[in-house]
Copies of this chain bind each other. A is one copy, B any other.
């Protein structure tokens, strides 16, 4: 079975580099340099570069999903099967935001890697990514239980917007900081989480009549 040392060194180095620089411009030679191993080691241990990426993504994916679900289940059990929508949304976007924003030294390479993966969509990952939908369905279920008289379409849109705000804020954090001249403090992660959750909650709980058929009359007037 051997030491496994090289294997995990490669995984760690690859995750770090991909998280920092994206998949586009990280070569195998970059990875083996970072890991201090020989070039051929990647193909020896993983078969190919794509299989390395896939293994990295799968293992990180199930770890992340497990964490989010743990948080969700705990909340639902505590609430006797129904959690407040804010808590559900917090379980959905909190871990990722916390892992990607905040003080540099406490960001997790895992979270940043997953964000890269969700953005760049490189072939080996795209092939696997379908199962993330099954994971999201569990959140849809919890949201349905939390808001029983909300229709499904609104739930889906609410979920979509919650993820949108979280991911976009992470991706464009630098631009938001620059645009606001530092007035939007992205290091205050809990504030960011609260804002995202607050807006998503509003989207999901706003007056029914308005949200079911969202402001179309107004849309026409505005043309």
B137 engages A179 (CB within 8 Å): yes
Given contacts A90-B219, A119-B119, A193-B219, 16 further A-B contacts (CB under 8 A): A133-B179, A153-B184, A156-B176, A160-B169, A161-B168, A161-B196, A164-B168, A190-B216, A194-B215, A195-B214, A197-B214, A198-B203, A198-B206, A198-B214, A198-B215, A202-B206
Residues of B within 8 A of A90 (CB): 219, 222
Mask: chain A, 143-171; 1 = CB below 8 Å from B; 0 = not: 00000000011001101110111011100
Answer whether residue A87 sits at the interface, using C-beta atoms and an 8 A cutoff: yes
Residues of B within 8 A of A180 (CB): 152-153, 156
Q: A120-B120, A184-B157, A219-B90 are in contact. Are A169 and B179 (CB under 8 A)?
A: no
The residue that A215 contacts in the complex, of B86, B137, B183, B214, with Cβ under 8 A, is B86
Answer whether residue A11 sits at the interface, using C-beta atoms and an 8 A cutoff: no
Answer whether residue A102 sits at the interface, using C-beta atoms and an 8 A cutoff: no
Q: Number of copies of this chain in the oligomer?
A: 2
Residues of B within 8 A of A215 (CB): 86, 194, 197-198
Tally A residues with Cβ within 8 Å of B.
55
Mask: chain A, 71-95; 1 = CB below 8 Å from B; 0 = not: 0000100000000101100100000
B153 engages A160 (CB within 8 Å): no
A–B complex contacts, Cβ < 8 Å, 11 sampled: A120-B120, A153-B183, A156-B183, A159-B179, A160-B172, A168-B168, A190-B216, A194-B218, A195-B214, A199-B199, A199-B203
**Chain B nearest CB, measured from A12 CB (Å):** 25
Answer whether residue A211 sits at the interface, using C-beta atoms and an 8 A cutoff: yes
**Chain B nearest CB, measured from A133 CB (Å):** 5
Instruction: Report Cα–Cα, A162/B144, bound state, in Å.
Output: 25
Answer whether residue A48 sits at the interface, using C-beta atoms and an 8 A cutoff: no
Mask: chain A, 41-57; 1 = CB below 8 Å from B; 0 = not: 00000000000000000
B219 engages A175 (CB within 8 Å): no
Residues of B within 8 A of A216 (CB): 190-191, 194
